Amino acid sequence: MRRKLLPVLAFAVVATLLGAGAAAAANGGFAPQPPASPNAQGIRTAYWWIFGFTAAIFVLVETLLLVFVVKYRSRGRARTVEGAQVHGHTRLELIWTAGPVIILAIIAALVFYELPGIHNAPAATNPLRITVEGHQYYWQFDYPNGARSIEELHVPFDRVVDLDVTSSDVVHSWWIPELGGKIQAIPGRTNTTWFEANRIGSFTGQCAQLCGLYHAWMKARVIATSDQDYETWLATDAKTKLGQEEFEGVCATCHGLQGQGGYGPRISDNPLLTQPAGLESLIEHGLGKMPAVADTWTPEQIKALEDYVSKHVYTGASSGG
């Protein structure tokens, strides 16, 4: 039986090692995302430092375990016969007591060395301060000039961005892996974090805190562009596309991009979309399972949503028999 099991065991070990290699090469959750901000680089460095020590310890312990299993196996001895006794070894016991202490001290030293660079933003003459507000189930961003955006945070690259993170309803967690660690969004409290995107691009993340039934759809994206493109976006798209962002980032999560229904009911043929007072009351106060998605919206935001849904979502009330 043992001889039959050996090939199966060997195949399982090889398959596991090959799978681990593939996962590592594709970074399929095996390691932090490639960093695009100095604080994310510090997190990645600390991760690999700790991983190196723990992997080495794992290999050492498992190797010794196999050696002892082979060396001290029964060798045909009857089960009732007591095996050879191994007495204490003072020097060895001191080594395996002091060794872990030294390893933990080395790991702690590196982590504490990296922590200031992770927590503290570099000195900047003109940092950009943006408020991040979590809602069920979307992120809202407030910019210094009064502009707002939904789900997509626009920033210039190579510029320090200070984030004031809060929530209007329940606890959320802001997390863009390539731009740093997580930070909690807590009602009635403002937490701060920062990042500095070192390249132009789009960086995705999502709420990392179970915040309700549709939590998995609470995604976020940071779009880093040149200073000129950022200023252009602030002056144009931030206003003209607000209504579309609100519907796609807030309403469509449950009701579908065409208002066709899904988790929430079909709304494309609901005349409420063309009734400002009724629509405003619904989104500000919620109804049934629907949360108050617009409880902190400005009148301009509500007007932008009203204009968008009446022109691009409402298809007319269906004629029923």
Residue 264 has pLDDT above 80, yes or no: yes
Structure confidence at residue 105 (pLDDT): 93
Shared domain check, 257 and 181: no
Structure confidence at residue 17 (pLDDT): 58
Size of the chain in residues: 321
Structural domain contains residue 13: no
Cα 236 to chain centroid distance, Å, stands at: 29
At 164-199, the pLDDT tens digits run 999 998 999 999 999 998 999 999 999 999 999 999
Tell me the CB-side half-sphere exposure of residue 52, using CA atoms within 13 A: 10
Structure confidence at residue 319 (pLDDT): 47
Q: How confident is the model at residue 321 (pLDDT cuts 50, 70, 90)?
A: very low
Structural domain contains residue 300: yes
Shared domain check, 54 and 115: yes
**Shortest CA distance to 239 belongs to which of 151, 300, 160?**
300
Shared domain check, 267 and 305: yes
Structure confidence at residue 6 (pLDDT): 62
Residue 90 has pLDDT above 90, yes or no: no
Residue 27 has pLDDT above 70, yes or no: no
Q: How confident is the model at residue 263 (pLDDT cuts 50, 70, 90)?
A: confident
Shared domain check, 229 and 134: yes
Q: How confident is the model at residue 309 (pLDDT cuts 50, 70, 90)?
A: very high
Structural domain contains residue 41: yes
CA dist., res. 56 & res. 64, Å (int): 12
Rg (CA), the chain: 28
Across the range 135-148, mean pLDDT stands at 92
Q: Convert 214-239 to b/e letters by CB count within 10 Å (16 or more is b).
A: ebeebbbbbbbbeeeebeebbeeebe
Q: What angle do CA 227, 175, 51 make, to 5 degrees?
A: 115
Cα–Cα distances (Å) from 49 to 13, 22, 110, 194, in that order, read 25, 21, 8, 23
Q: Which domain covers residue 283, as residue numbers? A: 242-312
Question: How much is the mean pLDDT over the chain?
Answer: 86
Structure confidence at residue 92 (pLDDT): 84
Shared domain check, 185 and 144: yes
Shared domain check, 116 and 173: no
Shared domain check, 142 and 96: no
Structure confidence at residue 227 (pLDDT): 93
Strands 161-167, 128-135: pairing is parallel
Shared domain check, 136 and 228: yes
173: CATH: 2.60.40.420
Shared domain check, 228 and 150: yes
Contact 310, 247 (CB under 8 A): no
Structural domain contains residue 319: no
Structural domain contains residue 24: no
At 185-237, the pLDDT tens digits run 999 999 999 999 999 999 999 899 898 887 888 889 999 999 999 999 999 99
Q: How confident is the model at residue 125 (pLDDT cuts 50, 70, 90)?
A: confident
Shared domain check, 133 and 116: no
Domain boundary among 233, 251, 282: 233
Domain boundary among 100, 120, 140: 120
Lowest mean pLDDT among 75-89, 110-124, 130-144, 256-270: 75-89
